[in-house]
Amino acid sequence: MTCLESVQKKIDFKPEVALILGSGLGDFADGIKIEQTIDYTDIEGFPVSTVKGHKGRFVFGYVEETPVVIMQGRVHYYEGYDMTDVVLPTRLMGMMGAKKILLTNAAGGCNPNYKPGDFMMITDHITTGIPSPLIGPNADELGTRFPDMSEVYSNRLQDVIRNCAKECDIELQEGVYVQFSGPNYETPAEVKLAQIWGGDAAGISKGELNHKEVQETADKVAKSFKELVAKVVVNM
């Protein structure tokens, strides 16, 4: 039985939008109109997160009238999973019916003009030493062999996020995200390198922070975060 078949046996639901919520941000899902939840451990062949603070379940429901599927917790490359396992949940949500996805995470600012708790919209990214999930046989039903990366982050949806942030009176930073493998945080030299490359945020956090501080910062902005995400979802 495939993961999709396992989910379809448990729920008949077609989401329009998928959300993946990062460290300290998963509580957004608890405030929507929930139809059903499915623990990752109840899905045959599904990878399970080992990170503290990640609940490890799908939440199916509605943000106002928009049907959504939300991941509370996700697996990471640094947990020892193959990249095919890391991206399996994203592909699964697409096969459920979601055509748009909103991802969030707690990251460390490399841009000296940023301060803890700022919201940054990713406009582009740089990958460092992490294998592409597209390596290997191509799944034609999921996309082309050589995808165009000139607009990874939809320009239209970026405008939606800008407008929603303005309506919520939230100052929105925009920048390039530099992906490191973790689980260790970045060294000062790696942060400097990310800045030289043009990165504005990196990895999970800057080197001098720890996971507790990441969680505390996320908690401080949780109310504004939930307001912004809800508004973005219904306008996507």
| Residue listed under structure tokens 């990196």 | 202
Alpha-carbon distance 82 to 182, whole Å? 14
Residue 214's pLDDT band (boundaries 50, 70, 90)?
Answer: low
Residue 217 has pLDDT above 90, yes or no: no
Contacts of 196 (CB under 8 A, 6+ apart): none
Alpha-carbon distance 188 to 207, whole Å? 6
The enclosing domain of 210 has a CATH number of: 3.40.50.1580
Strand (E) positions, 44-171? 57-63, 66-72, 100-103, 108-109, 119-127
**Cβ-based neighbour number of residue 128 at 10 Å:** 16
Domain count, the chain: 1
Alpha-carbon distance 53 to 222, whole Å? 15
CA separation, residue 151 to residues 64, 124, 138 (Å): 29, 8, 21
Residue 210's pLDDT band (boundaries 50, 70, 90)?
Answer: low
Residue 25 per-residue DSSP state: -
Residue 83 has pLDDT above 80, yes or no: yes
Which residues span the domain enclosing 200? 3-235
What residue spans of the chain are helical by DSSP H?
Answer: 3-8, 83-96, 155-167, 188-197, 211-220, 222-235
133-179 pLDDT, tens digit per residue, is: 999 999 888 889 999 999 999 999 999 999 999 999 999 999 999 99
Q: What does the pLDDT average to over 15-26?
A: 84
Q: What does the pLDDT average to over 194-213?
A: 73
Residue 204's pLDDT band (boundaries 50, 70, 90)?
Answer: low
Residue 6 has pLDDT above 60, yes or no: yes
The encoded tokens of residue 140 equal 């034609």
pTM of the full predicted structure? 0.89
Alpha-carbon distance 222 to 216, whole Å? 10
